[in-house]
Amino acid sequence: MWFLGWKGESGFSASSTAEQVTQGIDGHGLTAIVTGATSGLGLETTRVFALRGVHVVMAVRSVESGTKVKETILKEIPSAKIDVMELDLCSMASVRKFASDYISSGRPLNILMYVLFDIDELFHNNAGVMATPFQLSQDNIEMQFATNHLSHFLLTNLLLETMKRTVRECKREGRIVILSSEAHRLPYQEGIRFDKINDESVYNSYYAYGQSKLANILHAKELTRRFKEGVEITANALHPGSIITNILRYHGYINAVANMVGKYLLKNVQQGAATQCYVALHPQVKGISGEYFMDSNKATPTHLANDSELAKKLWEFSVSLTNQK
């Protein structure tokens, strides 16, 4: 059980759950895309969004698994509006197809939320990844950077006009929510290794994960800088908290220790999904953009995460890797 219950400025704490931070919020009329929605934080976010009336589009690698999750949620919440669409974040072609299909469907888009995929779905069926052995994505880019940042970057750019149109038509603020991590504090020394992204000889799984999580925060900050005045869309990054999962399964000793102490010191999934649901739905966050959140409160990231020049350089680098004009 998570025992730290000190409340921050928002009135919520590390022990708050996703249901608690969205209590009383009416999400009817909102449409959200949630990646990684078949397990863990993504599944709980989908369930709570549906509970609050949000129309959720589950962006999942396995449509079969997504459909089963949808059916389970519908048993609990018969009024839930949920669609399932295929998206493999390991493949830019899949990202482009998803975006094209979504735009063709004519659906609005109020909330774009990026949640890590379950490690088993990712690495065994091959997708959001943490400290994995060196591997390349389908586009021959280091897996953690490609999956945790580049695919998010590409999908955001492809769907941004849809979000802008939705904001104009419904006159409600659009929100982009990106799951980062406190691991952004431990990237490579230079932050982003632009010239060595695919260099296996200097690859370190933990630093590479930190690099991808740093990229998440820089992405949100640069998006905010690029939003033109009058565009009511915000972009924020967050740390969900330390949660009991099998995400460290490739690091036996650490995973074993985490599982032993986890039930006493780590969050459960309901608590872990709170911050992302808070940032996506709560009226307290209206108009706030380019920030980093933790425990449903604003937090302070590292100096590298606040480096505007690094954010600009990452943007241009990401444009080149995703072959965008």
pLDDT at residue 6, as a whole number: 83
pLDDT of 181 over the 70 cut? yes
Q: What does the pLDDT read at residue 324?
A: 75
Q: For residues 246-271, give the mean pLDDT.
A: 59
- Report which of 74, 88, 77 is spatially closest to residue 117, judged by C-alpha positions: 88
- Fold of the domain built from segment(s) 20-323: Rossmann fold (3.40.50)
Tens of pLDDT, residue by residue over 192-214, are 999 999 999 999 999 999 999 99
pTM: 0.91
Domain residue ranges in the chain: 20-323
Question: In this structure, what DSSP letter does residue 149 have?
Answer: I
pLDDT one-digit tens code per residue, 106-115: 999 999 999 9
Residue 253: active-site member: no
What is the structure's pLDDT at 118? Answer: 40
Predicted confidence at residue 244, as pLDDT, reads: 58
Q: Is pLDDT of 3 > 80? A: no
Which of 102, 203, 207, 209 does the annotation list as catalytic?
A: 203
| pLDDT of 304 above 80 | yes
**What residues contact residue 23 under an 8 Å CB cut-off, 6+ apart?**
none
Q: Which residues contact 316 (CB under 8 A, 6 or more apart)?
A: none
Nearest by Cα to 59 from 79, 80, 43, 73 = 43
Q: Is residue 120's pLDDT more than 50?
A: no
Strand partners, 299: 292
Closest CA relative to residue 273, chosen from 8, 22, 7, 4: 22
* pLDDT, tens digit (0-9, with 9 covering 90-100), for 127-172: 345 668 899 999 999 999 999 999 999 999 999 999 999 999 999 9
Q: 176 has which bridge partners?
A: 112, 235
Higher per-residue confidence, 175 vs 119 = 175
**Token pair recorded at residue 14:** 């590390």
How do the residues of the chain divide into helix, strand and coil, expressed in percent and rounded to 5?
45, 15, 40
Q: Tell me, what amino acid is at 55?
A: H
The residues with which 243 forms a beta bridge, in sequence order, are 267
Mean pLDDT, rounded, of the chain: 89
Q: Rounded CA gap, 119 and 239, in Å? A: 17
